[in-house]
Structure 1
Amino acid sequence: MISDGGLTAGDRLPPVRDLAYALGVTPGTVARAYAILTDEGWADGQVGRGTFVAAPGAAEQGAEPEYPPRNGAPDATRIALFGPSVPDMGQVGLINAAFARLADRPAANLLNYPSRAGYAAAREAAVRWLGAAELGPLHHEDLVMCHGGQSGVSLVLQTVLRGARPVVLVEELSYPGFRRAAELMRAEVVSVPMDGEGLIPEALDRIVAETGAQVLCTSPEVHNPTGICTPADRREAIARVARRRGLHVLEDDCYRLGGRRGATYRALLPDLGWYVASLSKGLTPALRIGFAVAPREEAGALRRAAEHGFFGLARPLADLVEDMLPRADTAAMLTAIREEFGRYVRAAVNALGGFDLTWHEEVPFLWLRLPEGWRAAAFVQAAEAEGLQLRTAEDFALRDGFAPHAVRIAVNAQVSLASFEAGMLRLRGLLDNPPERIAV
């Protein structure tokens, strides 16, 4: 009808359920057809309004669907900055559209346990999505889909650790989830000193020799919480230590939103390098979709750990991976989210750039070393009084470890940019007036 002129630009197509009833097919079939029309530029899906005939010429241009945000970011005076909050750039509509397409999948998908063969297409989609991560030779059988990045970390440790009291190494300041996963495995956690480029190889070598550690957990691309990136030569030096000592290296790459700046440890250590990533920071944490990648010789052991632990990712989520990750509109959404995070980071830097700050436009948090006169605990308390919730360096150190007077400021892009900017200016006011200089 669009081709023949029976429907013209701007005409609204029938609601999915109405057309499904009229044609005697399932709503999923109609939703899938509408998605194809939209993908090919014949129609324009508008979240909350319906599907409309696209303007002439859109089909020839191969127009992609748009998923505008449901609501503008609200203004707020109290802002949680504990962890990054992903902006709504329309991904809710994108995900809902994907679930609508999945309604036409075979009924058996929702009646049986997950299977290795049945998830092959989803794993292949994940491998293509991770392809730019420079993981070395990668087959979909090397990858296990899991329930977020933390699930992936736990899964790798379950696969690797042996003995009654294994030792896991972490960076001097590190993601607390490493410690929690290791403690669940009854492992001892030991920290390795760092400098401005990440782990110190000589210290790593000494501590592995002293402790017999089996695994190092690290985040070389975006170190959490400091935001530093370990340069290529330092990674190679760390890899040499790991190779000589037989040390497994687990790389957590969940915070990276843009391109890589160095090789993964899986590429540097084909027999010892493990890799974990997720959709949480770049798309949404609500789906709890993550990926754990094993060295080729360890892939079978990783699969068994997943199958024995939880059988596999829930089938609707695996189908979502298969459907959504290869789509151009998903890639465009990830780019839009990354760029929006960048706007908030720049706003923070504009307000706080005069202080000792580590940041990158494609990292959704900033690391602030406090000026003389401020201790981290007092600063966080003062910020709380201003309606801003931060995390201190102590949250990222071992219980008996050293923590500098510093705070991590996560980007909350679910409040308006104006509110976020105002919050950063309130932080600057505190930094400009440490306690001993505040008039009584």
Structure 2
Amino acid sequence: MNPINMSGNLPPLVPHVFDDIYRAAIAQVLDEGSPNSLIGAHQFCGSERDRTAGSRFAALRLPEIPSEDRVVVANGTQSILSMLLHSLVGKGGCLAIEALSYPTMRQFADIFAFRLSAIPMDSEGIEPEAFESMCRKDAPSAYYALPTLQNPTTAIMSMERRQAVAEICRRYNVAIIEDDIYSLLPRDIPPPLSSFAPELSWYILGTAKSMAAALKVAYLVAPKAEDVPKLFWPGVRATYWMCAPINAAVASRLIEGDGATCIIDAVRTETRERQALIAACFTGADLRTMPECLHVWLHLPEERPAEKFVELVGSLGVNISPSATYAFGNRTPPNAIRFGTGTARDRATFQRGLDTIIQAYNC
């Protein structure tokens, strides 16, 4: 039997809702005009319709609908990050990053030859005093921010913390690259960090964590319209950042109707069901998550080193990740592991994986 993959944090599959909505959206797109005209040429930053839809999608989180000339439609969040990091940080530059964060940022740093400066964290995310000290010392060009359901710790910055961090960025002229990809599932959360310093902020909202992992459509809102052509078309062309027109058109159709909302609601419901199973299984554990989170951050007793625990769980047929996977800087990472709630194909498979983690935890 193949191992159960719980190391990722993808949204759960919801075919009972997704399939019919997605089929209908594709059919509508194909019926609206010539397929050859749609995909016969690049759309670069996205058609006017796609950028307008992206504005509406971003407005699910931003305090107002951004103008479509500030929006870029791209082939997923990673494509946007590759363009921003190359241009805003670049060779020899410095990127501020949380001490525990998205592991792929290491690869970006290697590819584009920039430095990473890790910021100490508390239960809300980066510590403002430590961030300001780092800004004085390392002069970062940009800060990669995951202020909502932070990966991997699940931290959520308070309104006050976001205001403080935004003011530091303004004081030291640090661009904010905000990856808000986990924000559409929870309710009653603070507005994006970008809303507190919009003139410095490059706001990213993708579909991969709220609708489907391989939908591969993400939207960037630039600080102002004239910034878009400087960093994107007609800028660096030898990349994969442009979204396939058919993908962008289908995503636009989902956003224009109620399809996107229905899919997100279904993903939220399934995530809550799986989180309820976690809450029922773990009692007394030092565990951080919330009902709409796609991953869990579990601290282990000191006598149970994270790397050994991951090996044990792996030997039992389930893949999870140790804290070292996400660690940046020279500090020793906490003795913790992360596992996802959505990668298991169905709830029964998820329960088997969860039972295995519980079994190992209680050994």
TM (norm. structure 1) is 0.76
Q: What letter is aligned with 1:215?
A: A
1:287 alignment counterpart:
215
CA positional deviation for 1:214: 0.4
SS of corresponding position for 2:214: coil
**Superimposed CA distance per residue, residues 224-279 of structure 1 (whole angstroms, 9 cap, x where no aligned partner):** 00101011111111111111100111111112223451122221112111111211
CA positional deviation for 1:158: 2.6
Equivalent residue in structure 2 for 1:146, among 74, 78, 81: 74
1:37 alignment counterpart:
none
2:205 alignment counterpart:
277
Q: What letter is aligned with 2:9?
A: P
SS of corresponding position for 1:103: helix
| 1:188 paired to 2:115 | yes
**Superimposed CA distance per residue, residues 386-424 of structure 1 (whole angstroms, 9 cap, x where no aligned partner):** 211100100001264421110001013543423422432
SS of corresponding position for 2:47: helix
CA contact (8 A) 2:96 2:119 kept: yes
1:178 alignment counterpart:
105
| 1:82 paired to 2:7 | yes
Cα separation, partners in 2 of 1:351 and 1:274, compared to 1, 3 Å:
same
SS of corresponding position for 2:304: coil
CA contact (8 A) 1:87 1:341 kept: no
1:124 alignment counterpart:
52
**Superimposed CA distance per residue, residues 76-109 of structure 1 (whole angstroms, 9 cap, x where no aligned partner):** 8841101124223332332232222222322322
Whole-angstrom distance in 2 between the partners of 1:342 and 1:306:
42
CA contact (8 A) 1:123 1:145 kept: yes
1:114 alignment counterpart:
43
Whole-angstrom distance in 2 between the partners of 1:173 and 1:199:
10
CA contact (8 A) 2:59 2:65 kept: no
Whole-angstrom distance in 1 between the partners of 2:167 and 2:64:
17
Q: What letter is aligned with 1:132?
A: L
| 1:346 paired to 2:276 | yes
What does 1:379-390 correspond to in 2, within 5 Å? 379-390=309-320
**Superimposed CA distance per residue, residues 186-222 of structure 1 (whole angstroms, 9 cap, x where no aligned partner):** 1111101111111111111111111111011010011
Cα separation, partners in 2 of 1:429 and 1:103, compared to 1, 3 Å:
same
| 1:230 paired to 2:161 | no
CA contact (8 A) 2:132 2:168 kept: yes
Cα separation, partners in 2 of 1:277 and 1:246, compared to 1, 3 Å:
same
Equivalent residue in structure 1 for 2:19, among 83, 92, 111: 92
2:334 alignment counterpart:
404
CA contact (8 A) 1:159 1:302 kept: yes
| 1:258 paired to 2:197 | no
Q: What letter is aligned with 2:197?
A: L
2:262 alignment counterpart:
332
2:174 alignment counterpart:
247
CA contact (8 A) 1:102 1:320 kept: yes
Cα separation, partners in 2 of 1:298 and 1:372, compared to 1, 3 Å:
same
CA contact (8 A) 1:80 1:412 kept: no
Structure 1, unmatched stretches of 5+, are 1-75, 434-440
CA contact (8 A) 1:152 1:292 kept: yes
| 1:102 paired to 2:29 | yes
SS of corresponding position for 1:132: coil
Cα separation, partners in 2 of 1:283 and 1:316, compared to 1, 3 Å:
same
CA contact (8 A) 2:63 2:195 kept: yes
Structure 2, unmatched stretches of 5+, are none
Cα separation, partners in 2 of 1:335 and 1:289, compared to 1, 3 Å:
same
Cα separation, partners in 2 of 1:390 and 1:115, compared to 1, 3 Å:
closer
What does 1:43-58 correspond to in 2, within 5 Å? none
CA positional deviation for 1:382: 0.6
Whole-angstrom distance in 2 between the partners of 1:405 and 1:305:
46
Tell me how large the CA RMSD over aligned residues is: 2.2
1:315 alignment counterpart:
245
CA positional deviation for 1:356: 0.3
Higher relative contact order (CA 8 A, sep 6+): 2
CA contact (8 A) 2:294 2:341 kept: yes
| 1:303 paired to 2:228 | no
Whole-angstrom distance in 1 between the partners of 2:343 and 2:328:
29
Q: What letter is aligned with 1:108?
A: S
Whole-angstrom distance in 1 between the partners of 2:96 and 2:65:
26
SS of corresponding position for 2:242: coil
SS of corresponding position for 1:348: helix
| 1:167 paired to 2:94 | yes
Cα separation, partners in 2 of 1:272 and 1:376, compared to 1, 3 Å:
same
1:372 alignment counterpart:
302
Whole-angstrom distance in 1 between the partners of 2:331 and 2:22:
42
Q: What letter is aligned with 1:152?
A: I
CA positional deviation for 1:146: 1.0
Whole-angstrom distance in 1 between the partners of 2:170 and 2:241:
32
Equivalent residue in structure 2 for 1:427, among 325, 350, 357: 357
Cα separation, partners in 2 of 1:378 and 1:277, compared to 1, 3 Å:
same
2:285 alignment counterpart:
355
CA contact (8 A) 2:8 2:343 kept: no
